[in-house]
C-alpha cells in the first residue's frame, strides 16, 4: 500500500465531501472523548432539550414566485402572462392585494392559522441567472463568491470553536445524497443521506476510493496507528461521531410519532419531512435539518407542472407543521424556504418562464410574525425584465441567526444586515 495521505489537512478533508454515513458499520474505538462516552467511562455532554431547530427547505430550479404569490390587482401581471396568469377569481386572497396560487391550499391553511410568513421581493445585488452560481450565492451568503464555506457551516463553526473534531456531525443533517454547500464550514461537516438504507455501507467493489477510505479509517492494514498521526486521529474521531449519529438516526426513524396526520402526501418533500419530524420527535441533538424539492425550472409547459409542484409543497408543509404541532414540538421549530431565483415576468413562447431575479421566501412555525412582509415588487418598473429585489436575502438569514439560533450574524454572514421583524422571539 502506498504511504500517500488520505487527506493532507482538515480543510482538504472537509472540502472532499466525504460522507461518513457511507463509511462503515464498525469503526475503531481509540482513546478519545467520544469513545470514552460510548464506553460509559465519561458522561455525555448535557444539552438543552428545548434547543431550537431550523429546517431549511430548498425549492431547486427557480420557483416562479410571481405565480406563487400573485399580485392580482396589477394589470401588468395579466398583460405579461396571457396564458399563465391565474384568474383573479381563483386567487387565494391574502393581504396587501396579493394572494396564493389556488394549488397551494396547504399553504393558505397555514397562513389562516397564523403559522406562515411571506417575505416579498427577496434577492441580492447584481443578480445572477445561472442556477449554479446563484445557488452558490445563496449557500455561501456571498454574492461576490469570495467565501468557500456555507452560511450554516459557518454558524456551526462559530458555535463550537476549538472543539475536536468540531461539532457533532449529527448537529446538521441533510436529507440528500450529498450535503449542500450551505452546510459545510471550515471545521464542520454535516451528515447526509437520502434514504434510511444509506446509513450503512454495503461496499461498492467498483468504488476503489471509497474502499481505500474505508480501509484507512478502520486501520485495516495497520498503517495508521492510534496516537501516531494527528490527521488520522481526527478522521477517526469524525468517523466515529458520524457512525454514532447514524445509529441514533436509524433508531429515531424507526419510531412512530404519537400523533400523526395523514401521511403519503406532498411527494418526495413530504417523505423527507416525515423523516425529519420523526428525528425531531426522537429529540436528537440536531440543530439544522436541510431538505430539497426539485422541478421548479419551468421553461416549458409551466401551468400544469407548477400547479402540481405547489400542491405538493403546500401539502408537505401543512402535514409537517401540523404533525409537529400535534406532538407539541412546533414551538422548537422554524422552517425557512428559498429558491435560487424567481422567473421572468414575461411568459415565453413555450408556455413557460425563464430565469428571473427576485422572489418570495416563506417562514413557518408558531414563532413567526404571520402575514405578508414588505411590498410586492413593482411590475411597472422592472430590472432587465425581472422583478427588482427589495430585501437582501442576508437580512432574512441575519434574522434567523440572531433571533432564532442566537448566533451573531456578523460572524457568519458579515456585518451590515439588519434583522427583520419576522419572528415573535
Q: What percent of the chain has pLDDT over 90?
A: 62
Residue 415 clears pLDDT 50, i.e. is over it = yes
Residue 74 clears pLDDT 90, i.e. is over it = yes
Cell 413557460, residue located: 352
- Model confidence pLDDT, tens digit, residues 342-388: 999 999 999 999 999 999 999 999 999 999 999 999 999 999 999 99
Q: Which domain holds residue 169?
A: 53-197+226-412
pLDDT (0 to 100) of residue 36: 37
Q: For residue 412, what pLDDT band results from cuts at 50, 70 and 90?
A: very high
- Model confidence pLDDT, tens digit, residues 77-122: 999 999 999 999 999 999 999 999 999 999 999 999 999 999 999 9
Q: For residue 195, what pLDDT band results from cuts at 50, 70 and 90?
A: confident
- The answer to the question of residue 424 being in a domain is no
Q: Classify burial at 258, counting beta carbons within 10 Å of its beta carbon; exposed 0-12, middle 13-18, buried 19 or more.
A: exposed
Q: For residue 3, what pLDDT band results from cuts at 50, 70 and 90?
A: very low
- The answer to the question of residue 162 being in a domain is yes
**What is the domain-level CATH number for residue 102?**
3.40.720
- The answer to the question of residue 290 being in a domain is yes
Helix (H, G, I), strand (E, B) or coil at 301: coil
To 10 degrees, the CA torsion angle through 188, 189, 194, 198? -140
Q: What percent of the chain has pLDDT over 70?
A: 71
- The answer to the question of residue 267 being in a domain is yes
More confident residue, 398 or 44: 398
Largest CA-CA distance found in the chain, in angstroms, rounded:
73
For the four alpha carbons of 255, 167, 10 and 409, in that order, the dihedral sign comes to positive
- The answer to the question of residue 34 being in a domain is no
Q: Which of 21-30, 34-43, 297-306, 365-374 has the lowest mean pLDDT?
A: 21-30
pLDDT (0 to 100) of residue 11: 44
Residues 6+ apart with CB under 8 A from 401: 155, 407, 408, 409, 412, 413
For the four alpha carbons of 32, 35, 37 and 39, in that order, the dihedral sign comes to negative
In whole angstroms, what is the distance from residue 365 CA to residue 280 CA? 14
pLDDT (0 to 100) of residue 423: 98
20-34, 43-57, 81-95: which has the highest mean pLDDT? 81-95
- Model confidence pLDDT, tens digit, residues 213-251: 444 444 444 444 444 455 455 555 555 555 556 667 777
Residue 21 clears pLDDT 90, i.e. is over it = no
- The answer to the question of residue 4 being in a domain is no
pLDDT (0 to 100) of residue 262: 59
Closest to 297 measured CA to CA, from 80, 135, 142, 174: 135
To 10 degrees, the CA torsion angle through 40, 43, 49, 55? -70
Contact 28, 222 (CB under 8 A): no
pLDDT (0 to 100) of residue 47: 42
Contact 361, 337 (CB under 8 A): yes
Q: For residue 177, what pLDDT band results from cuts at 50, 70 and 90?
A: confident
pLDDT (0 to 100) of residue 43: 42
Cell 498521526, residue located: 229
- The answer to the question of residue 31 being in a domain is no
pLDDT (0 to 100) of residue 287: 94
pLDDT (0 to 100) of residue 40: 41
State pTM to two decimals. 0.82
pLDDT (0 to 100) of residue 10: 43
Residue 52 clears pLDDT 50, i.e. is over it = yes
Residue 226, Cβ neighbours under 10 Å: how many?
A: 14
* Total of domains in the chain: 1
Q: What is the mean pLDDT of the chain?
A: 82
pLDDT (0 to 100) of residue 236: 53
Contact 329, 286 (CB under 8 A): no
In whole angstroms, what is the distance from residue 286 CA to residue 280 CA? 8
pLDDT (0 to 100) of residue 167: 63
Residues 6+ apart with CB under 8 A from 395: 417, 418, 419, 420
In the DSSP assignment, the letter for residue 197 is G
Residues 246-268 have a mean pLDDT of 73
- The answer to the question of residue 203 being in a domain is no
pLDDT (0 to 100) of residue 244: 59
- Model confidence pLDDT, tens digit, residues 283-341: 888 999 999 999 999 999 999 999 999 999 999 999 999 999 999 999 999 999 999 99
pLDDT (0 to 100) of residue 404: 97
Q: For residue 209, what pLDDT band results from cuts at 50, 70 and 90?
A: low
pLDDT (0 to 100) of residue 50: 56
- Model confidence pLDDT, tens digit, residues 265-288: 899 999 999 999 988 998 888 999
Amino acid at each position: 500500500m502506498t504511504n500517500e495521505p488520505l487527506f493532507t489537512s482538515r480543510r482538504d478533508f472537509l472540502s472532499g465531501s466525504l460522507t461518513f454515513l457511507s463509511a462503515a458499520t464498525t469503526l475503531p474505538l481509540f482513546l478519545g472523548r467520544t469513545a470514552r462516552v460510548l464506553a460509559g467511562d465519561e458522561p455525555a455532554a448535557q444539552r438543552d432539550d428545548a434547543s431550537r431547530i431550523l429546517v431549511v427547505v430548498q425549492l431547486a430550479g427557480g420557483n416562479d414566485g410571481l405565480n406563487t404569490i400573485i399580485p392580482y390587482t396589477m394589470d401588468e401581471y395579466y398583460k405579461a402572462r396571457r396564458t399563465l396568469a391565474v384568474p383573479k377569481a381563483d386567487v387565494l386572497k391574502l393581504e396587501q392585494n396579493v394572494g396564493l396560487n389556488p394549488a397551494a391550499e396547504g399553504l393558505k391553511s397555514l397562513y389562516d392559522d397564523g403559522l406562515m410568513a411571506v417575505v416579498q421581493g427577496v434577492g441580492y445585488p447584481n443578480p445572477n441567472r445561472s442556477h449554479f452560481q446563484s445557488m452558490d450565492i445563496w449557500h455561501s451568503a456571498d454574492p461576490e463568491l469570495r467565501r468557500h464555506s456555507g452560511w450554516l457551516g459557518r454558524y456551526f463553526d462559530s458555535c463550537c470553536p476549538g472543539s475536536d473534531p468540531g461539532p457533532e456531525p449529527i448537529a446538521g443533517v441533510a436529507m440528500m445524497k450529498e450535503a449542500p454547500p450551505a452546510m459545510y464550514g471550515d471545521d464542520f461537516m454535516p451528515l447526509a443521506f437520502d434514504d434510511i438504507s444509506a446509513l450503512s455501507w454495503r461496499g461498492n467493489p467498483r468504488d476503489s476510493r471509497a474502499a481505500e477510505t474505508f480501509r484507512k479509517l478502520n486501520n485495516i492494514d495497520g498503517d495508521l496507528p492510534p496516537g501516531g498521526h494527528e490527521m488520522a486521529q481526527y478522521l477517526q474521531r469524525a468517523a466515529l461521531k458520524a457512525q454514532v449519529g447514524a445509529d441514533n438516526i436509524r433508531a429515531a426513524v424507526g419510531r412512530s410519532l404519537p400523533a400523526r396526520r395523514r401521511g403519503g402526501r406532498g411527494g418526495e418533500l413530504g417523505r423527507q419531512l416525515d423523516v425529519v419530524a420523526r428525528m425531531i420527535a426522537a429529540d436528537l441533538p440536531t440543530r439544522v435539518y436541510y431538505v430539497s424539492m426539485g422541478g421548479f425550472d419551468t421553461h416549458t409547459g409551466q401551468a400544469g407542472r407548477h400547479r402540481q409542484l405547489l400542491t405538493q409543497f403546500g401539502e408537505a408543509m401543512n402535514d409537517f407543521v401540523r404533525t409537529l404541532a400535534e406532538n407539541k414540538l412546533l414551538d422548537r421549530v422554524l422552517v425557512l424556504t428559498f429558491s435560487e431565483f424567481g422567473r421572468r415576468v414575461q411568459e415565453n413562447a413555450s408556455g413557460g418562464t425563464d430565469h428571473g431575479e427576485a422572489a418570495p421566501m416563506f417562514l413557518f412555525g408558531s414563532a413567526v410574525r404571520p402575514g405578508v412582509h414588505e411590498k410586492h415588487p413593482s411590475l411597472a418598473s422592472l430590472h432587465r425584465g425581472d422583478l427588482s429585489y427589495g430585501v437582501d436575502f442576508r437580512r432574512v438569514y441575519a434574522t434567523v441567526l440572531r433571533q432564532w439560533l442566537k448566533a451573531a450574524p456578523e460572524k457568519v454572514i458579515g456585518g451590515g444586515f439588519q434583522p427583520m421583524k419576522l419572528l415573535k422571539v
